[in-house]
Amino acid sequence: MLLESIKMAVSSLMANKMRALLTMLGIIVGIASVITIVSLGEGGKNEVLGQFEQIGASTVIIQVRSGQAQAGDYINQNDIEAIRTRIDSVKHVTATLQTVGHASTEMGRRRIYLSGIDADFIEFSPIEIVYGRLFTEIEYLDAFPVVIIDRAGAQALFGRENVVGERLTVESSGRLLRTTIVGVCESVASQFSAFASGFGGDMDDNRGIPFFVYSPFVTARSIIDDNNRLSSINVMAVEPERVDEAGAAVIRLLEMRRGNSERSVYRSQNLASILDQINNVINIMTWFISTVAGISLVVGGIGVMNIMLVSVTERTREIGIRKAIGATNTDILFQFMTESVILTLLGGMMGILAGLGLAYGISAAAESLGVAQITPILSWQAIVIAVAFSTAVGLFFGIYPARKAARLHPIDALRHQ
């Protein structure tokens, strides 16, 4: 009987393809929007997760809350040294000075992203040397005017990649520093950094994503005016299980040194807590879109109910015939319910496909614009929920027309023209 009902429903929908499609539109839009946001959200989460893997599960970021902080609360090199030597659970600690500046050669002037790094930096974020070398210990300690530039930067500033030994003038906030290039590194997968710092556009455009230039921390300080105040440091625990312990220990130590524990100036963030924040944002978006989609599903459902009522009226005579030859009220109810559920289920499936298509479209657009690189991920849970919701809409909005059909009196129905 189920098979027969499905056959009947399909043939009746096929008889009015355009009408069926238009009826399904509300469902398609509703399901598609949810699928789009969910698959992009999952994909984005995955992407961010991948990028944070570079930081690693054992890393914790210690930040100074700028709202609560006074001048004396900021972290300095002495604090870093203290953390490094006095906390057992800490394996590495690094502070980075970062600024946007320019670098110039005979070939021109380019926008750069200058990072002043210390020896521990590579433990957190590896620098892959292609030509030349990393900085030596003495270069780190004595503020040697040396830099490492990324491949794309070398190409843009010199027209070739192996630029070890070349001179590079680096400037930031009006200060100049003449440096020697000691190494060329692989360009970082820069999408996330670019995304995070709000850059977009072409790589070799002045307004575009900047090239990366690294110098020893102390060297960078000579052109970056930070007053020896660091607002954030990265700490790596000896093992991932001790990351919370390390974070807490660092904060305790800092508070002890400053005597400001009552103001809770410092906070620690690890991979888990950052992921929590991202999840929060995604969840809020998902809920928002789901609400819109829910409205769309209700409107779509009303459309289905409407068209099913039309269908019942159109097929009154058919209902009469079926009843005359032995269809029970239940049979008729079942037939029309099957039809409305197939209608919404089909809409749901088309919505899944449309949503996935849209998600891939958006991700392709975002990638070509250089905004973000996200591969949509469609989980089976999302599919199950989409299918369940579209079925539920079909059942809920199909029941009234189907009951109306089932309750028709056979004689009245047969007389209907």
Partner 1 sequence: MIKYFLGTKKEENENKPQEESTGKPVEQHPVIALRNAWKTYRTGAVELTALRRISIHIFAGEFTAIMGSSGSGKSTLMNILGCLDQMDSGSYLLNGTDISSLNQEDLAFIRNQEIGFVFQSFNLLNKLTLQENVELPMIYGAVNRGERTRRALEALDAVGLASWARHRPNEVSGGQIQRAAIARAIVMRPALLMADEPTGNLDSRTSRDIMELFIQLNRSGSTIVLITHEKEISAYANRIIRVEDGEIVLDSFGRDAPKPERDN
Among 162, 193, 279, 329, binds partner 1 (CB under 8 A): 329
Q: Which is nearer to partner 1, 109 or 409 (CB)?
A: 409
16 forms part of the interface with partner 1 (CB under 8 A): no
The long-range contacts involving 222-226, CB below 8 angstroms and separated by at least 24 positions, are 222/143, 222/175, 222/177, 223/101, 223/114, 223/170, 223/171, 223/172, 223/173, 223/175, 223/176, 223/177, 224/97, 224/99, 224/114, 224/116, 224/172, 224/173, 225/173, 226/97
Which letter, b or e, does each residue of 379-389 get, where b requires 16 or more Cβ atoms within 10 Å of its Cβ? eeebbebbbeb
Among 1, 107, 189, 388, binds partner 1 (CB under 8 A): 1
18 forms part of the interface with partner 1 (CB under 8 A): no
Cα distance between residue 417 and residue 409, in whole Å: 14
71 forms part of the interface with partner 1 (CB under 8 A): no
314 forms part of the interface with partner 1 (CB under 8 A): no
Stretch of residues binding partner 1 (CB under 8 A), selected from 37-45, 92-100, 259-267, 408-416: 408-416
Closest separation between CB of residue 311 and partner 1, Å?
13
Among 49, 281, 324, 365, binds partner 1 (CB under 8 A): 324
Q: What token pair was written down for 6?
A: 């499905």
325 forms part of the interface with partner 1 (CB under 8 A): yes
Tell me the per-residue interface mask from 103 to 122 with partner 1, x by CB under 8 A, - otherwise: --------------------
Residue located via tokens 């459309």: 303
Q: Which is nearer to partner 1, 329 or 373 (CB)?
A: 329
Q: Which is nearer to partner 1, 15 or 138 (CB)?
A: 15
Among 328, 361, 369, 388, binds partner 1 (CB under 8 A): 328
404 forms part of the interface with partner 1 (CB under 8 A): no
Q: Please give the size of the binding site for partner 1, defined by CB under 8 A.
A: 23
Listed in sequence order, the residues at least 6 apart from 353 whose beta carbon sits closer than 8 Å to its beta carbon are none
310 forms part of the interface with partner 1 (CB under 8 A): no
Strand partners, 215: 116
12 forms part of the interface with partner 1 (CB under 8 A): yes
- In angstroms and rounded to an integer, the radius of gyration of the C-alpha atoms of the chain is 32
Q: Which is nearer to partner 1, 18 or 325 (CB)?
A: 325
| DSSP code string of 238-270 | SSGGGHHHHHHHHHHHHHHHHT-GGG--EEEEE
Strand partners, 232: 63
Closest separation between CB of residue 414 and partner 1, Å?
7
- Number of H-type helices and E-type strands within the chain: 14, 11
Residue located via tokens 């870093």: 80
Q: What token pair was written down for 196?
A: 């995070």
Stretch of residues binding partner 1 (CB under 8 A), selected from 36-44, 178-186, 235-243, 312-320: 312-320
Residues 213-252 interacting with partner 1 (rule: CB under 8 A): none
Residues that bind partner 1 (CB under 8 A): 1, 4, 11-12, 15, 317-318, 320-331, 409-411, 414
